[in-house]
């Protein structure tokens, strides 16, 4: 029973195009989101601030070579683009994952982990493990003749190989929110969900984070609103776990989580832009693609029966 | 789907889930995995924070993370300074940190920021506000205690 449910959850058959579209959208979005990223400044920061995390502990100290970081950034952003179009796919995606780990992890080694970039790195690690370039890739187009002779059933087929990577990425994304909700209950207990606590967060951040609006100050005047926001935050975050299993809960949970993050931006000055790539995983890209695809191709790809 | 890809997929799924669930259950962080503990503590009606002030010819000015000390943002900079403060040999580390921050401040104009007043010294204060509805965020702290200071000539505190 467990094995059957496990298999049904992870290995629902999908088309190669489904996974390929997720690849295209994910890498393209990550490229746009991280285009302004510039880690070169960290080479000017004193080693006294160096507090390495994770695999960065193997380094003897912070990187000092400004030019090297500059080159790595260009390589990384280029690899995101080539991964999106599926050119030199395997190398591109491995490079995007390795350099993404390094460049997005580096700032976290200077005192504090910001949790915004964790999920994109996980996604960058999952995609190279998948067969996401079996469709809609430059590599595929270049090798089309050979593939059509030897591997036609994979190219046009529907198989579980194309389902699990997206399902895993979706699961990890929703678990991010469940973890956040669970951490509030573990560290703060039920008292976290009080108006006093919510008000203290909103008012405190006015001084420590300089948010773009004084909305927190306005909302904090209302005990009722503070209480509602505190309870709603935890409930919405915890709803991510049942949304993993109950398909009907998924859309309301995602809308709630997205709304929560949009709401947080003007109040606390925290921008969850990298999480856009996580929300994009749940959109029906194949449906959009079918609608946008030129009619002759659609006719070719349609089932004969 | 053939057996080998299934085994590989199962291995990958199990690995990712195991680390994720371990971090959630224990509250530990193995970046890029994590327990996402942001804003998870109970906050009192007082907020204590560290603030950096530059000493200029015109007096003290409040300085902020991203604007004045890039690549640091405010949250990362203050948490880093708090960790240095509580670390063994904290005073010495804070002195070195403040001197480095003065150099980062001097690079502001090179980064395209507006021309700023030159700093004679940099001071780190612990500040405290009593939080009550109606605050706008521009109020001065109720309490301010000097923690560390670095000057141009290298003298500390």
**Cβ–Cβ below 8 Å for B1 and A159:** yes
CA distance linking residue A95 with residue A91, whole number of Å = 6
Q: Indicate which of A179, A197, A226, A269 best probes the interface with B, i.e. most B CBs within 10 Å of its own CB.
A: A179
Is the Cβ–Cβ distance between A49 and B101 less than 8 Å? no
**Cβ–Cβ below 8 Å for A129 and B12:** yes
Residue B157 is assigned to a structural domain of this protein? no
Report, as an integer, the average pLDDT of B18-46: 95
A97 has a chain B CB within 8 A of its CB: no
Q: Which of chain A's residues have a Cβ under 8 Å away from the Cβ of B83?
A: 51, 111
Q: Indicate which of B49, B83, B122, B137 best probes the interface with A, i.e. most A CBs within 10 Å of its own CB.
A: B137
**Strand pairing report for B143-151 and B121-130:** antiparallel
* B29 phi/psi in degrees, rounded to 5: -125, 120
* Residue B125: domain span: 46-151
Same domain flag for B28 and B103: no
- Report the pLDDT value the prediction gives residue A303, as an integer from 0 to 100: 43
Out of A108, A115, A160, the one facing B36 most closely (by C-beta) is A115
Buried b (16+ CB within 10 A) or exposed e, A36-58: eeebbbbbebbebbbbbbbebee
Helix (H, G, I), strand (E, B) or coil at A118: helix
Residue B137 is assigned to a structural domain of this protein? yes
**Cβ–Cβ below 8 Å for A204 and B32:** no
CA distance linking residue A10 with residue B136, whole number of Å = 49
C-alpha to C-alpha distances, A245 to A175, A180, A202, A249, nearest whole angstrom? 12, 19, 33, 8
Out of A111, A121, A179, the one facing B79 most closely (by C-beta) is A111
| pLDDT band with cut points at 50, 70 and 90 for residue B3 | low
Q: Which of chain A's residues have a Cβ under 8 Å away from the Cβ of B6?
A: 11, 160
CA distance linking residue B121 with residue B106, whole number of Å = 12
Same domain flag for B20 and B68: no
**Average pLDDT of the residues of chain B:** 90
pLDDT in tens, chain A (305 residues): 888 899 999 998 899 999 999 999 999 999 999 999 999 999 999 999 999 998 999 999 999 999 999 999 999 999 999 999 999 999 999 999 999 999 999 999 999 999 999 999 999 999 999 999 988 999 988 887 665 666 554 455 678 889 999 999 999 999 999 999 999 999 999 999 999 999 999 999 999 888 999 999 999 999 999 999 999 999 999 999 999 999 899 999 999 999 999 999 999 999 999 999 999 999 999 999 988 877 655 444 444 33
CA distance linking residue B16 with residue A175, whole number of Å = 11
Domain count, chain B: 2
Same domain flag for B117 and B77: yes
Residue A220 tokens, joined: 């904090």
- Report the pLDDT value the prediction gives residue A148, as an integer from 0 to 100: 61
Higher pLDDT, B85 or B152: B85
**Cβ–Cβ below 8 Å for B16 and A41:** no
**Average pLDDT of the residues of chain A:** 91
Dihedral sign computed on CA atoms, order B97, B98, B99, B103: positive
Residues 270-289 of chain A whose Cβ lies under 8 A from any Cβ of chain B: none
Same domain flag for B147 and B117: yes
- Report the pLDDT value the prediction gives residue A2, as an integer from 0 to 100: 85
Query: Closest Cα to residue A116, out of A289, A261, A10, A223?
Result: A261
Same domain flag for B110 and B73: yes
Same domain flag for B59 and B105: yes
A212 has a chain B CB within 8 A of its CB: no
- Report the pLDDT value the prediction gives residue A147, as an integer from 0 to 100: 58
| pLDDT band with cut points at 50, 70 and 90 for residue B113 | low
Residue B95 is assigned to a structural domain of this protein? yes
Out of B30, B70, B83, the one facing A51 most closely (by C-beta) is B83
Closest chain B residue to the Cα of A119, Cα to Cα: B32
Residue B81 tokens, joined: 């300074």
Residue B104 is assigned to a structural domain of this protein? yes
For residue A34, the distance in angstroms to the closest alpha carbon of chain B comes to 15
Q: Which of chain B's residues have a Cβ under 8 Å away from the Cβ of A46?
A: 96-97, 99-100
The 3-state secondary structure of A209-234 reads: CCCCCCHHHHHCCCHHHHHHHHHHHH
Q: Is 0.85 exceeded by the ipTM?
A: yes
**Helices in A35-163 by DSSP H: which ranges?**
66-85, 89-105, 118-126, 138-142, 144-150, 152-156
- Residues 6 or more apart from B57 whose CB is under 8 A from it? B117, B118, B120
Per-domain residue ranges of chain A: 14-135, 163-290
Count of A-B CB contacts under 8 Å: 190
Out of A44, A171, A206, the one facing B137 most closely (by C-beta) is A206
Is the Cβ–Cβ distance between B129 and B150 less than 8 Å? no
**Cβ–Cβ below 8 Å for B141 and A207:** yes
Is the Cβ–Cβ distance between A41 and A70 less than 8 Å? no
Same domain flag for B13 and B78: no
CA distance linking residue A126 with residue A118, whole number of Å = 13
Same domain flag for B16 and B57: no
**Cβ–Cβ below 8 Å for A161 and B24:** no
**Cβ–Cβ below 8 Å for B36 and A46:** no
Same domain flag for B14 and B75: no
- Report the pLDDT value the prediction gives residue A305, as an integer from 0 to 100: 31
Same domain flag for B142 and B75: yes
Instruction: Supply the DSSP symbol for B112.
Output: T
Helix (H) or strand (E) holding B52: strand B46-56
Instruction: Supply the DSSP symbol for B43.
Output: -
Same domain flag for B145 and B80: yes
């Amino acid at each position: 029973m467990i094995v059957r449910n496990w298999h049904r959850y992870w290995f629902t058959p999908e088309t190669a195009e489904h996974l390929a579209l997720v690849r295209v959208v994910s890498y393209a979005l990550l490229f746009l989101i991280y285009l302004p990223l510039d880690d070169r400044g960290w080479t000017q920061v004193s080693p006294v601030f160096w507090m390495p995390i994770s695999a960065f502990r193997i380094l003897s100290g912070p990187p000092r070579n400004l030019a090297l970081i500059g080159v790595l950034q260009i390589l990384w952003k280029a690899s995101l683009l080539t991964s999106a179009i599926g050119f030199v796919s395997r190398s591109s995606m491995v490079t995007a994952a390795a350099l993404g780990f390094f460049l997005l992890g580096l700032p976290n080694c200077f005192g504090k982990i910001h949790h915004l970039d964790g999920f994109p790195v996980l996604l960058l690690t999952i995609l190279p493990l998948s067969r996401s370039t079996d469709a809609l890739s430059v590599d595929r187009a270049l090798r089309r003749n050979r593939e059509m002779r030897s591997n036609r059933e994979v190219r046009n087929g529907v198989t579980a190989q194309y389902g699990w990577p997206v399902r895993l990425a979706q699961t990890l994304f929703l678990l991010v929110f469940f973890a956040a909700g669970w951490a509030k209950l573990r560290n703060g207990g039920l008292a976290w969900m009080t108006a006093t606590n919510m008000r203290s967060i909103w008012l405190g951040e006015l001084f420590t984070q300089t948010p773009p609006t004084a909305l927190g100050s306005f909302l904090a005047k209302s005990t009722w609103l503070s209480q509602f926001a505190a309870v709603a935050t935890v409930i919405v975050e915890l709803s991510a776990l049942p949304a993993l299993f109950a398909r009907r809960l998924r859309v309301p949970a995602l809308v709630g989580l997205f709304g929560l993050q949009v709401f947080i931006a003007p109040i606390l000055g925290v921008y969850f832009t990298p999480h856009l790539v996580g929300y994009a995983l749940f959109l029906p890209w194949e449906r959009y693609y079918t609608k946008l695809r030129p009619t002759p191709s659609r006719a070719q790809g349609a089932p004969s029966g | 789907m053939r057996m080998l890809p299934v085994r590989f997929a199962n291995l990958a799924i199990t690995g990712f889930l195991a680390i994720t669930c371990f971090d959630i259950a224990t509250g530990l962080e193995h970046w890029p995995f994590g327990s996402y503990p942001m804003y998870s503590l109970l906050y009192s009606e007082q907020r204590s924070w560290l603030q950096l002030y530059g000493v200029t010819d015109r007096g003290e000015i409040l300085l902020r993370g991203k604007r004045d000390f890039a690549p640091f943002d405010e949250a990362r900079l203050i948490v880093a300074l708090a960790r240095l403060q509580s670390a063994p040999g904290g005073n010495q580390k804070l002195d070195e940190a403040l001197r480095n921050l003065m150099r980062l401040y001097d690079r502001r104009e090179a980064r395209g920021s507006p021309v700023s007043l030159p700093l004679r010294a940099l001071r780190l204060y612990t500040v405290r506000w009593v939080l009550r509805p109606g605050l706008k965020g521009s109020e001065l702290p109720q309490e301010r205690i000097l923690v560390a200071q670095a000057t141009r000539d290298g003298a500390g505190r």
